[in-house]
Amino acid sequence: MNQIDTREHFTEVEIFDYARRLFEARGSKAIAEAAQKAGSFEQQGEGEQARTWRQIEAALRSMRGPTAS
């Protein structure tokens, strides 16, 4: 789950599929892991990888649904 294909573009279905598998493997830690990876790639100047991880993070958040505040 740590390595993502190095293609530049992923379909929405591929993003959601990866997010689902990440959630199954990491549970509630998946969102934090995706955000951490995105931040790390942003700091390294890897914009495309960072964008992909932000999309995965968003997919994970949508799977989680609304939270009470």
CA 25 to chain centre: 13
R_g over Cα of the chain? 12
Report yes or no on 1 lying in a domain.
no
* Residue 61: exposure state from Cβ atoms within 10 A (0-12, 13-18, ≥19): middle
Tens digits of residue pLDDT in 38-50: 999 999 999 999 9
Q: What is the pTM of this model?
A: 0.82
Q: How far is CA 66 from CA 24, 52, 61, 63, in A?
A: 19, 22, 8, 9
Structural domains counted in the chain: 1
- Region 47-56: mean pLDDT is 95
The mean pLDDT of the chain is 87
Structural domain harbouring 18: 12-64
Instruction: Look at residue 68 in the predicted model and tell me its pLDDT.
Output: 47
Report yes or no on 44 lying in a domain.
yes
Whether 5 shows a pLDDT value over 70: the answer reads: no
Report yes or no on 59 lying in a domain.
yes
Q: Which two tokens stand for residue 43?
A: 């700091």
Q: What percent of the chain has pLDDT over 90?
A: 74
